[in-house]
Structure 1
């Protein structure tokens, strides 16, 4: 029964690995799709923990999980499984904290930092207004434009990381199940092979060349030239 359970757990784990890779690729795609927002965030130098840093940290941590988890169950090594459980637990915790940060705190931080940096640095203000055709007198102000961009980034980030959070949690459960199974199985005894020498040794050949005294040839034969 444990072998069938282990086979099912391993198959399901491989499916989760594929889904996690796709989710991590989607997380990286957010950076590409909203390049304008991340470019402005980098130019202004948003203080604290900016969205680009949150995205890089979560993408890096979660990208390790599929490669780590792909062989953790197949290895059947309990120490390897325990190390994975510790790392996966930390990743789940960080994902949860990042979701709370992006959902509940970062919007206020961005609006405050954006307004302050635009006001204090005229060079940044001119760069953003000229590059993205926005100003305080336009129909859509610069802060409104990038707040809308941030809302989209926030929405997709929460969706993708929420999926990754669930996948990591399910993989943690699978590895925990595999750890509880009896994976030793029956030991196969190696049959003993009897050693048998082939041919003659030097001593046996020397003994065969000696003729016993009682079996010596007749004198007539021995005296023949």
Structure 2
């Protein structure tokens, strides 16, 4: 039951080439920078993991985090809502060079596809994207006179998550908007790896405030005073 991992490097050590990885965060809010950079460190040392499919709300920013993963060639595909950002050059350059594939998904549909993956719902219908290029090749149906597009669930091999407080059983709380996609991703991944700002003993989190139950978490590592994407970008930091 003790899911605490000794180091960040150990937490991501088993992620293989070709894995599909959900990464929590809405912009910088809830973005697990330390876990991502630990994966980059491993890639620099071993050449693995590569050929990854990344699932996130955006395609990264600047030269840190997800953008750095894309920049150094770790990602084969990204599934996201917003491939543009204040500094999207990493994704833009790779995409224009034909070195990364993009699956563009409306934001609400992305969240629901992830939720469906965690709930065991293989497909659902939504009016979003009907009649657009995003609906091409997808089944459609009419309900009560309105047209809908069928969307498939999204699941992943791994989820990388940033939480605020966790206990050794894996129960989690989040800080403010850092909650965003993360609880859904924890449910939709085969293995969920979490960085938490602080650990407490079992029972140290009021059961009424637990957002993600430990049953959906496989490994936790403590990262006190985690870095924030926006702060790093303003400082001109690069992890490439």
Q: Relative contact order: is structure 1 or structure 2 higher (C-alpha 8 Å, sep ≥ 6)?
A: 1
Which protein is bigger by CA-based radius of gyration?
Answer: 1
Structure having the higher helix fraction is 1
Same fold (TM over 0.5): no
**TM-score normalised to the size of structure 2?**
0.22
Structure having the higher strand fraction is 2
**TM-score normalised to the size of structure 1?**
0.23
